Chain A
Amino acid sequence: MSKNRIFRTLTSLLGQMGLLAGALLISAPSLYMLSASFMNSNEIFSTRLQLLPEALNWSNYLEVFARFNFWLYLNNSLWVTGAVVLLNLLFTPMVGYSLAKFNYPGKNVLLLFILATVMVPFTAILIPLFLIVRNLGWINSYPGLVMPFAMSAFGVFLMRQFMLSVPDDYIDAGRIDGASEGRIYFQIVLPLIQPALITLAIVVFVANWDEFLWMLVVTTGDALRTLPVGLAKFREQYQTRFELMMAGSVVAAAPVVLLFLALQRRFLQGIAGLSGLK
């Protein structure tokens, strides 16, 4: 019996050590970014192994914000991503509700369209999308950055999934009481799926905070660049200022990482929910 217990403690200890080693390895690049953002240029260019800076050196952050347009990029990223999240919150639950609870001609075609868009690589429609946005006069404007992401196929599917779980009885009860369909949606259905809306907001925020290719194509000057594109342009111009690049990277990564750490469970549920599992 006691031999068995020793064996079990040993395996659990080994397991913990393995998990810890894995955790260190997996988070090494992220931790190194954080560490390098505080290094001076001598430390970062050191050809010997230097994992930590000698002192916490905030000057990289100050320089990135003072000398380069990072405030502007951060501001643009927040506005663009915020607008995309709001539009998604407005439209995708409506469509999800409609697909889950109503029948009308064209519904199956719509479902098929939306399903198909999951498989369409963005690059494959990049050129015509650019032409449309150009014809609308939206190049280098907020609508041009925001509108192509006002809805998303996965958002609609997520919402449809959650709407299916709303009991029909609640909706019918509303009808019997004489509530209009719009009132039923806003006062009965939406409050019921509130947790799903938060999940949707998180998923859309994360996906769009990171959008790179489209923002690269549709912005021509610095004025409307978001953080990812701003960082990429910074890299092209200041190849050797890795310490500044890492400080800018920390700023760009922080919002999503903090959101994740604050709302872990909801976050992970949202990702798992995308697969249609719950």
Chain B
Amino acid sequence: MVAQPTAADIRSQRRQGLFGNTLEARKRRFGLFFALPAFLFFGMFYVYPLFQTFYVSLFSWSLIDEPSFLGTANYTRLFADKEFLNAIWVSFLYAFGVVIPIWGIALGLALIFNRSFRGRQAYLTVYYIPAVISLTVWSLIWLLLYNPSFGLFSVVMRGLGIGGLRMLDDPSTAMLALILLSIWKGTPVYMLIFLAGLRAIPSDYYEAAEIDGARSWQSLLLITLPLLRPVFLYVMVISLIEAFKVFTPMYLLTSGGPGSATRVLSMFIFQNGFQYLKMGYASAASVIFLLILLLLALLQFRLLRFQQVD
């Protein structure tokens, strides 16, 4: 009984705070006014669609006909659909296949670029270039590179004694081919973020360690890596989400094939929604997709909190 009036009091105070002619009230009104575009935009293009996805997932609908209510039938069908289960598996395979090497390479490069040497800025620029090339263009370049008869990749591999490569047509190498081009393109951004993190570590720490006679690998292991942990977790979360979102390279290089070897969730949703016009079914897959990402994010945040405690 005591808590309720208090909460109401606070609310009425707030409401009073928004109206009236005090400076505080005017500031609140102005702040709200400036935030209005964001409420409208994110409400209309993100929040409402999120709920709408769930709603549409309860129907069978081809855009042209009237939607007919199915209840949860789309979901039961999804979990019996080998293609969908395969899409989940393939998405995980791709995402971890891309991000784990990226974490290592990006951190290694950042450690190199954190030192000073001749031509550092020029090297940094060149190493960053794959990141500024449009992903569409990047995918088309690799389509050419992987061409079995005249692509540069195949020609070089043939020169190294590995002939007869059909990277994109062979189910056992198609995923590897996509992972390789994604690592190549994705690494520079994370290298830069690691580098920003390394630069934020005060140099006093290293000087103190040097005075104490620490070797450079000891500084790396005992100063750099522990202090870099928040940056590392940021990179983990963002890179994993980015990798799960992938669509363009699959669309341009393999269309999800050969067979279903590279049909990631985005591709599965796109094909069911916009090629087979199964809006309800694709929406149900979208909901599961969202839940998977949510779980992954929660897991990583748990990891973050766990590590902050110790």
Contacts and interface: CB of A to CB of B under 8 A. Distances in A.
Contacts of A26: 126-127, 129-130, 184
Nearest to A131: B52
B223 to A, nearest CB: 17
Contact of A272 (B132, B195, B266, B297): B195
A210 B138 CA distance: 11
Task: Describe A's contact surface by its main secondary structure.
Answer: helix
Given A124-B286, A125-B286, A15 B117 contact: yes
Contacts of A156: 38
A30 interface: yes
A168 B130 CA distance: 40
Interface stretch (B75-83, B164-172, B247-255, B302-310): B247-255
A232 interface: yes
A102 B231 contact: no
A22 interface: yes
Interface stretch (A54-62, A63-71, A90-98): A90-98
Contacts of B138: 29
A277 B144 contact: no
B248 A212 contact: yes
Nearest to B196: A272
B260 to A, nearest CB: 17
Given A26-B126, A117-B42, A277-B193, A102 B270 contact: no
B273 A127 contact: yes
A30 B133 contact: yes
A275 B231 contact: yes
B182 to A, nearest CB: 12
B14 A105 contact: yes
Given A26-B129, A95-B35, A246-B144, A12 B200 contact: no
Closest 8 CB pairs of A and B: A102-B31, A128-B52, A128-B49, A272-B196, A228-B136, A98-B34, A125-B49, A123-B266
8 contacts: A32-B152, A44-B150, A49-B156, A107-B35, A113-B47, A147-B45, A213-B251, A277-B200
